[in-house]
Amino acid sequence: MRIVVLHGSARRGGNSDTLVDRFLDGAGGETEHEISHFRPIEMNIAHCRGCNACSSGSCVIRDDMDAVYAAFSRADAVVLAAPMFWGYMTSQLKMLFDRLEALASPRHFGGKDFVLFVTYRHYFGSMVEWLGRITRGYGSTLRVLTCQTYDPATDRDVAIAELPDHLTSAYRLGQEVAAQRRIRGTRAP
């Protein structure tokens, strides 16, 4: 299986990355799958210009998105992992996803397994609703794991390591996606 991971967090090794690690462990890791990691905060990605040139199937901007386009097009599974900032995904992930408009077609988005990991303090619905509309529209599968990493009773942030049930759920989700993909088979490159 080919897996693309879009890391929305500005911090390596944080809560959302930890969930991804557990998911990948459950799926069988790099020994069983081709995994491509993209961290928009560390990439040279220009903003979408809204020029509509991508209606021809490719973006006119040449930058680090070229690698994302190639991996995304070939992917069987796409994992998005991000903390919520002010009720929505991080700006880095949003910028990357805006540029994926160049691939907005059933050929590139259809038939994929999408997995969304959201860590949040107060609200997560907007990101789940957004990706749900996209995956339904293209006939893809969406699995979601949301984790509140804030305790309102004590007004304290909670590290994902203190939430073992969520880590177990991420691991099992990896097992589930890998098993389902084995049943359905992978797409040709």
Predicted confidence (pLDDT) at residue 189 exceeds the cutoff of 50:
no
Taking CA atoms, 64 is separated from 32, 42, 101, in Å, by 26, 10, 15
Average pLDDT, the chain: 93
Going from the N-terminus, what domains does the chain have, and what CATH number goes with each?
2-184 (3.40.50.360)
Q: Are strands 113-120 and 141-148 parallel, antiparallel or unpaired?
A: parallel
Bridge partners, 113 (sequence order): 77, 141
Task: Give the whole-angstrom CA distance, residue 166 versus residue 179.
Answer: 20
pLDDT in tens, 108-135: 999 999 999 999 998 888 899 999 999 9
Instruction: State the burial class of residue 86 (Cβ atoms within 10 Å of its Cβ: 0-12, 13-18, 19+).
Output: exposed
Which is it for strands 156-157 and 150-151: parallel, antiparallel or unpaired?
Answer: antiparallel
Q: How far is the C-alpha of 185 from the C-alpha of 170, rounded, in Å?
A: 22
| Residue 164 burial (C-beta neighbours within 10 Å; 0-12, 13-18, 19+) | exposed
Alpha carbon of 180 to those of 9, 88, 117, 156: distances in Å? Answer: 28, 29, 19, 38
For residue 143, pLDDT beyond 70: yes
pLDDT tens string 40-59? 999 999 999 999 998 877 89
What tokens were used for 155? 């007004």
| 11, two tokens | 């911090």
Which pTM value belongs to this model? 0.93
